[in-house]
Chains A and B, each alone.
Chain A
């Protein structure tokens, strides 16, 4: 028995040792690229944590980077950090300093803020919520009520949005069978599920290009006003690195203007440069870029500039967040002053 104890101890010791060995690696992950300040007149390195894998969802950032808009603002280097199904939340990467800014949705940033994370949303790419429920055209889901009694595939990372949407649509979650799925919409085509939650820009287009007839129900058209791809930074960055925040936003605005005008060029960048190796398909990415233009361009953004939120949209966002259980004031979650400043100084950007 004494032998056994020694073995146990040895094993525990080795486990602890493993942790300690892993420490420098983890540490290196934690604090490379201290994205503050930078030297001299330049703004240093810009790290942006994307909300998803490097596809044309970030076409504007790809454009801005490849066409030198970020460099022109004074950044020496741009790091577009990939997200995806297994990435840590973007909020975590920004809070821990792995990235200077992140892209996420207001409900997730709001949840982090309520947990004490010092973050603020400074604008949003998508004025309309990009989430949708896709269904096969022969069994269409057109309204939230159509989902009652059906099986809907929901990804774990989208669960919070799903809950919030049901609350705002006043649907009892128990009346719907939620099926945990990943990001390949095969279960929808095989009939395992009747509906599929995703960005309207992704899976529906994939299925359409494979020849399936699908129907989409956009959350934005069902009274769900939350903006998407919200750009956020730390409150400290807003105070101490305002020039950097401003430079980043100006670069993004220019990049996105190009992306909106040239969806093919943006798709090409995604397929051949930034998302190389992801197996993206050109045709699908072009369709994606065109679909997302509808989420970006509204009467308000045409008038006030990209990424802006009208006071009315902002108010409805806060109301919906409250319904979803994220009780946060507009002042605590949003700071749109940098964006206002940019458009006031340079009206040509609108």
Chain B
């Protein structure tokens, strides 16, 4: 199969995936909207505090200050998405590098995995002040914090994925005189792709949470901080609109990774993409 054909063939599942993803997105959004409204109706929470989907819509689109409101939310969201995106990429790359070194050198895994587990079990909220002392309060700090959220689940998934490669295929590479690195490239990495994307899908919303946390505790920018200040200053419409924005962004990123996954897997691991 030539590369062009392969690329064309991989487009189909990607599009199909996009369709079903969009459908399930719309469905789940409708469900969340209904649940939200019912929740407020049943509980009779003060409407000064609990805003309905209609209130959020009004805040963003129909009130006279709507344009300024949208600007507030979108500029915050842009910062948060940047923080989360950089963290996601950094976390996944780091996890991929470490996972490969684990598989290539057993000693690396034996000496580093326990450390990774210890770091993992320290609550991030408790670790954040230390991180800010070490990395400052700028993009680097948010990258480290949201990268940590991404890193550990991705690492475990990736090590598992790399190990799941067919030993016969690896043996074949060895028989033809290929090195361990060649086996990694030709056999193990392609067979770890499904695990990689499974990890990325879980990690994408996680990176947003990490970014929000970092903004709250370290940088004081983005939606993470805005949500905190709007809550304490009785700007509940802004707070609810921010929550909606983050939720939608999270769903969108999740769907995007899913589409990417379908496209790549149909090329490299046609069985899993079905």
Contact = CB atoms under 8 A, between A and B. Distances in A.
A24 to B, nearest CB: 9
Given A116-B48, A159-B229, A180-B220, A23 B234 contact: no
Given A89-B232, A111-B233, A156-B225, A95 B35 contact: no
Contacts of B17: 1
Interface in A1-41: 1, 4-5, 8-9, 12-13, 16, 19-20, 23, 26-27, 30
Interface size class of B (residues with CB under 8 A): 35 or more
Contacts of B129: 182
A182 B228 CA distance: 12
Interface in A257-310: none
B43 A5 contact: no
Contacts of B268: none
Contacts of A178: 220
Interface string B44-60: 11101100000000000
A61 interface: no
B35 A179 contact: no
Given A8-B24, A108-B234, A112-B234, A30 B229 contact: no
A170 B262 CA distance: 57
A89 B231 CA distance: 8
A182 B35 contact: no
A108 B220 CA distance: 20
Contact of B235 (A20, A97, A115): A115
Contact of B35 (A16, A27, A88, A159): A16
A13 B27 CA distance: 11
Nearest to B47: A116
Main secondary structure of the interface of B (DSSP, over half): helix
A16 B39 CA distance: 10
B229 A1 contact: no
Contacts of A16: 31-32, 35
A91 B46 CA distance: 12
Contacts of B117: none
Contacts of B27: 9, 12
The 7 closest A-B pairs by CB, nearest first: A180-B220, A112-B234, A12-B28, A156-B228, A96-B46, A157-B232, A16-B35
Nearest to B234: A112
7 contacts: A9-B28, A16-B35, A26-B43, A26-B45, A112-B234, A115-B236, A117-B234
Interface string B7-25: 0000000001100100010
A326 B43 CA distance: 31
Contacts of B220: 156, 178-180
Contacts of A180: 137, 216-220, 225
User: Which of A1, A111, A160, A178: most chain B CB closer than 10 A?
Assistant: A1
B2 to A, nearest CB: 26
A92 B49 contact: yes
Nearest to B236: A115
Contacts of B20: 1, 4-5
A156 B35 contact: no
B42 interface: yes
A92 B234 contact: yes
B233 A160 contact: yes
B271 interface: no
A246 to B, nearest CB: 25
A104 to B, nearest CB: 10
A56 to B, nearest CB: 23
Contact of A1 (B16, B43, B235): B16
Contacts of A4: 20
A117 B48 contact: yes
A117 B236 CA distance: 11
B274 interface: yes
Contacts of B32: 12, 16
Interface in A156-176: 156-157, 159-160
